[in-house]
Amino acid sequence: MRVLGIESSCDDTGVAIYDSNAGLLSQALHSQIVVHQEYGGVVPELASRDHIKWVVSLVKKVLQEANLAVNDVDAIAYTAGPGLIGALLVGACFAKSFAWALKKPAIAIHHLEAHILAAKLDNPHLDYPFLALLVSGGHTQLILARALNDYQLLGDTLDDAVGEAFDKTAKLMGLPYPGGAALSQLADDCPEALKNKLPPFPRPMTQKPGLNFSFSGLKTHALVLWHKIKERERAPSMIAHAFQEAIVETLVMKCKRALEQTHVNNLVVAGGVGANRLLRSSITAMGVKMGKTICFPRHEYCTDNGAMVAYAGCLHYLDGRDDEEQSIVVKPRWALSK
C-alpha cells in the first residue's frame, strides 16, 4: 500500500509517498527559512500562508516523481499536532479534503511520533521496546516506546527545548535564524588551542536524580559570557564550543541514566538536533561503552520532513487505524504518552 504524507506543523512543508513494499518512493520539502529570517523566528501567520502556497505543487511533484496518479495512493497521512495551529490546519484541511474527494482514508499523525518512527525508515528491524531521545526546536523528551501507539514520557524539559536553546544562543551572538546548525559549526571549527580557555558551562540538572532537563540557564550563561568577552578574537567559536559541550554532555548523561533505569537495548535519537555531529559521536561512543544499539535517522529525516509522516501513516494504516471523523481537527498541544 502507498501513503501520501503531509507535514506542515511549523516552518517546513514536507510531502512524501511511502510504499509498504518498495519503501520511500519520493519526497519534497520546502523550507521557509527565508520567510522568517528577517524576524529572527517563526511568524505563525506567514508560516500558514506559505504552506498554502506550496502544498499543492509539492504533492504534484511527489506524485510525478513516483510516476503515480492520484488514485494510486491508498491513504493520506497528515500531521495533526502538536505545532502551530494555522500551519497544522493547512496540512489537515488539504489532506482531509483530498482524502474525502478520492474516497480514501485520512490518518492523523502525531508529529513527535513521526520523528521517533523516522529512525525505523532506515532500520526497519529496530524492535520495541526502545528508548527515544527527541531533541527538536520545540521538544526535549526521553520517551520509552513500548509499541506503535504506546509511549511513556520519562523526561521532559522544564523550560527551553534544546534546539530553542541553540537558536537563542546563536541569535544573541548575531547568527541568522535558525542558528542551531551554524552555532554547532562554529563550535566544531573552534581551534584546539582555544577549546578550554573558558570556564565550563554548568551541566543542568545532572546532580539531581531524574530524567528532566532545563536549558534556559545555559542560554543566560552564554549571554553573560558574550557581553564579557565578545571583543576577544574567536569569542563566538569559544562560547559555541563550551555551550555545545555542556548540552551534549548533559544529554548523554540523561540517556545513560534512562538506559540504565529501563534496561532497554536500543536508543533512537530523533528530531532536528539529532543532526548535531558532536551529539551523534558522543551518543555513539556511549552506546559502544554500554553495549547498546544506537539508531540515528539520516540527517534529512532528523529535521521536519514528509517522509516520516508518510511512513508513520503507513504503519498506522497497516495497524488498522484511520480517521473516522469527517470534521477537521488539529491539536496544537498534544501529549504523546497516554
**Going residue by residue from 252 to 291, which x/- string records binding to ligand KG4, judged by CB under 6 A?**
-------------------xxx-xx---------------
Task: Choose, by CB under 6 A, the member of 8, 27, 79, 184 that binds ligand KG4.
Answer: 184
Query: Least CB distance from residue 7 to ligand KG4, whole Å?
Result: 9
Binding-site residue total for ligand KG4 (CB under 6 A)?
18
Cα angle, residue 95 at apex, residues 89 and 97 outer, rounded to 5°: 95
Q: Does 186 bind ligand KG4 (CB under 6 A)?
A: no
Q: Does 240 bind ligand KG4 (CB under 6 A)?
A: no
Q: Does 236 bind ligand KG4 (CB under 6 A)?
A: no
| 3 state DSSP class of 80 | strand
Query: Least CB distance from residue 75 to ligand KG4, whole Å?
Result: 23
Dmax (CA) of the chain: 64
Q: 141 is in the binding site of which of Zn ion, ligand KG4, none (Cβ under 5 to 8 A by kind)?
A: none
Q: What are all long-range contacts of 165-172, with beta carbons under 8 Å and residues at least 24 apart? A: 165/215, 165/216, 165/218, 165/219, 165/247, 166/247, 166/273, 167/41, 167/137, 168/219, 169/218, 169/219, 169/222, 169/223, 169/239, 169/240, 169/243, 171/40, 172/219, 172/222, 172/223, 172/226
Query: Least CB distance from residue 112 to Zn ion, whole Å?
Result: 8
**Are the beta carbons of 271 and 301 closer than 8 angstroms?**
no
Closest to ligand KG4 by CB, 2 vs 120, is 120
Closest to ligand KG4 by CB, 79 vs 98, is 79
| Whole-angstrom distance, CA of residue 337 vs CA of residue 240 | 34
The contact set with ligand KG4 (CB under 6 A) reads 10, 136-138, 163, 166-167, 178, 180-181, 184, 271-273, 275-276, 303-304
